[in-house]
């Protein structure tokens, strides 16, 4: 069982590992582990394999802690649904069987939470259900589904996307100094008012003059897209020059390569759209959760790689859920509090 998980498991209940793990795929794997632990089929080998999986990196341990919290939230929501007068008996039965924690599952989830709750809750709030203390103290913030436009010193136009926190530092020699704490921002010099702009994000910094770019920070991961002009990115003693239509990603461990990107997709949110071109379902759900109150949860990690090609309007974000249900023919269940289960 242990070796099967590490390579190609033939057990359909076993969470399949996803190579090149992103935050979305790690979350799907973590939920897969919880499903396995509460299936009644978990063995001591499974527990040992889980310990090794959690030890791969702090991100793995954090995702499992968050998934354990999520499992508790879903269990509570399911119980509320069962008590509601309008709840259908068949739905209540399914939810009850899926989310009643076993004693072993409770012990494991409790141990994981006890070990990590303090650090996770302060540095990275569980499930991203609320902003961190640093984000709350930012000079400018947007809530879920909110967008906001700023005009700094009549020289710099900034558009904040959903769930974004931005600090404005004291200018130096006329240089506009910003720090992106979380979220996504489109930043541009106003026509005829070229300004030197520096944005600190994570372990790197972005510099531009008379250019426009989009910068996004999710946890320690940062993505920079040059829309027009030239943008210089410095991180880990390496520098990159981005031209229009190029992007680079970096995190606390290193840099990626400069790559071409479709600016129409990157800027879609500024036109009130979400556009996906062969995007993995896990990525689509992560994106939807940025704009929607509540939480959409992909329960089956085997579905994470299914590709999506579609456009959606941000002011009708729940159309994505209908698409998943009808066009992708996947099971979708709605619970109180805006929680939606997929798979």
Distance CA 34, CA 308 (A): 26
pLDDT tens string 253-310 = 877 889 999 999 999 999 999 999 999 999 999 999 999 988 898 988 889 999 999 9
- Over residues 44-48, mean pLDDT: 79
Kindly report the CATH number that applies to the domain delimited by 268-342.
Answer: 3.55.50.30
Kindly report the CATH number that applies to the domain delimited by 135-263.
Answer: 2.60.120.1440
CB atoms within 10 A of CB 131: 18
Domain ranges, ordered by start, for the chain:
2-128, 135-263, 268-342
Q: Which two tokens stand for residue 162?
A: 């959903």
**Residue owning tokens 């069962």:** 82
**Residue owning tokens 């030890």:** 55
Count CA atoms within 13 Å of residue 142 on its CB side: 22
Q: Nearest-CA neighbor of 164 among 245, 123, 218?
A: 218
Say which DSSP state 161 is in: -
Distance CA 313, CA 260 (A): 25
pLDDT tens string 146-175 = 999 999 888 899 999 999 999 998 776 778
Mapping DSSP onto H, E and C, the string for 199-229 reads EEECCEEEEEECCEEEEEEECCEEEEEEEEC
pLDDT tens string 221-249 = 999 999 999 999 999 888 999 999 999 99
Kindly give, in sequence order, each residue whose CB lies less than 8 Å from that of residue 311, ignoring residues fewer than 6 positions away. 268, 273, 274, 275, 276
């Amino acid at each position: 069982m242990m070796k099967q998980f590490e390579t190609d498991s033939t057990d359909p209940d076993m969470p399949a590992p996803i190579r090149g793990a992103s935050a979305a795929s790690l979350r799907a794997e973590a939920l897969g582990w919880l499903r396995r632990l509460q299936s009644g089929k978990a063995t001591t080998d499974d527990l040992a394999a889980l310990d090794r999986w959690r030890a791969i990196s702090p991100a793995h341990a954090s995702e499992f802690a968050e998934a354990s919290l999520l499992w508790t939230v879903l269990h509570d929501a399911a119980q509320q649904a069962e008590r509601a007068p309008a709840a259908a008996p068949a739905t209540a039965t399914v939810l009850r069987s899926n989310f009643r924690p076993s004693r072993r599952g409770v012990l494991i989830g409790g141990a994981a939470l006890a070990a990590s709750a303090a650090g996770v809750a302060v540095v990275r709030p569980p499930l991203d259900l609320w902003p961190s203390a640093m984000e709350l103290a930012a000079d400018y913030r947007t809530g879920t589904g909110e967008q906001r436009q700023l005009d700094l010193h009549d020289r710099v136009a900034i558009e904040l996307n959903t769930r974004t926190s931005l600090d404005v530092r004291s200018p130096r020699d006329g240089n506009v100094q910003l720090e992106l704490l979380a979220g996504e921002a489109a930043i541009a010099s106003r026509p005829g008012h070229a300004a030197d702009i520096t944005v600190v994000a994570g372990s790197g910094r972005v510099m531009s003059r008379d250019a426009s770019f989009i910068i996004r920070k999710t946890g320690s991961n940062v993505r920079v897209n040059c829309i027009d002009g030239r943008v210089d990115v410095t991180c880990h003693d390496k520098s990159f020059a981005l031209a229009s239509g190029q992007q680079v990603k970096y995190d606390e461990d290193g840099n990626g390569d400069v790559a071409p990107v479709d600016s129409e997709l990157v800027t879609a949110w500024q036109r009130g759209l979400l556009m996906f071109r062969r995007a993995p379902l896990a990525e689509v759900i992560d994106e939807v959760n940025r704009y929607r109150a509540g939480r959409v949860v992909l329960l089956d990690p085997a579905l994470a790689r299914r590709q999506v090609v579609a456009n959606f309007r941000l002011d009708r974000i729940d159309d994505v859920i209908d698409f998943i249900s009808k066009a992708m023919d996947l099971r979708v269940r709605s619970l109180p509090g805006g929680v939606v289960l997929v798979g």
